[in-house]
Amino acid sequence: MPPPRCDRCGRRRRMRVTLEALRKAYREGEHRRVVLDGTGLQVASGEHVALMGRSGSGKSTLLNLISGMDRPDAGEVWLGETPLSRLDEGARTRFRRHHIGFVFQFFNLIPTLTIEENLLLPLELVGRLDDAPRARELLAAVGLSDRARAFPDRLSGGEQQRVALARALVHRPRLLLADEPTGTLDAETGDRVLALLQHLVRAGGMTLITVTHSREVAAAADRVFRLAEGQLHAVDRLDVAGV
């Protein structure tokens, strides 16, 4: 699988991520539930950071803020030189479509489109259908070449997860945000997916932020953080039991 490179200049596509004092709270009746409480982090371009933490600790909330799909109450997300909060919604959407891939916890495949059509959609949205062969390459890389014409509901959960990963990578994002990218996969398929991601990080310079409960994913990351009480705490990536 060729690493993601700029179509025009051929350079590796890189993006560092800086989280500055992020705060996010949700209303619960009369109360406010503080989920992120001054969360900060710097992720270098071409780095893989794994986020762990208990259910409900705010990992998905954090990914949504980094992707610009949701906005913090305070603080800033910098993607490269771009402060997301200073973009209007249209500009944030365009930025996301061009530069970010997102693997959702529940895959979010479009049920009325075939697998191949699901993969082509991100390319169509950025006017890059000329890169359609990449959809086939990625389907092969995740072991699903023979399912291109199937609809999502004909696929197992693990197959859908691999399609979701291929779809998140098809437009050659500089930053991939992946919520449990190997969550429903057996050990062998999970290893294969992890190897693909590591290749895109190591050879292609893609920045990768994963939310995971998997020891294997954490061990493959450059750094691991545990989200607790709205703050990120560095943990030893080879000693993630109990995180």
Ligand X SMILES: Nc1ncnc2c1ncn2[C@@H]1O[C@H](COP(=O)(O)OP(=O)(O)OP(=O)(O)O)[C@@H](O)[C@H]1O
Q: Which residue's entry shows tokens 């990120």? A: 232
Q: Do the Cβ atoms of 101 and 177 come closer than 8 Å?
A: yes
184 binds ligand X (CB under 6 A): no
By CB under 6 A, the count of residues binding ligand X is 11
Q: How far apart are CA 135 and CA 207, in angstroms?
A: 20
**Residue owning tokens 């208990």:** 54
Q: Does 53 bind ligand X (CB under 6 A)?
A: yes
Q: How far apart are CA 164 and CA 89, in angstroms?
A: 24
29 near ligand X (CB under 6 A): no
> Which residues are registered as beta bridge partners of 22?
39
Smaller CB separation from ligand X, 18 or 105: 105
48 binds ligand X per the rule CB under 6 A = no
Residue 138 or 243: which CB sits closer to ligand X?
Answer: 243
For residue 139, what are its two tokens?
A: 């389907």
- Residue among 26, 108, 157, 195 that touches ligand X (CB under 6 A): 26
Q: Classify strands 175-179 and 100-103 as parallel, antiparallel or unpaired.
A: parallel
Please report how close the Cβ of residue 180 comes to ligand X at its closest, in angstroms.
8
Distance CA 104, CA 177 (A): 8
Contact region with ligand X (CB under 6 A), list: 58-66, 83-91, 119-127, 153-161: 58-66
- Closest contact distance (angstroms) between CB of 77 and ligand X is 15
5: DSSP letter:
B
Q: Which of 56, 106, 126, 157 touches ligand X by CB under 6 A?
A: 56
| Residue 13 found at the interface with ligand X (CB under 6 A) | no
Q: Which residues bind ligand X (CB under 6 A)?
A: 26, 33, 35, 53, 55-61
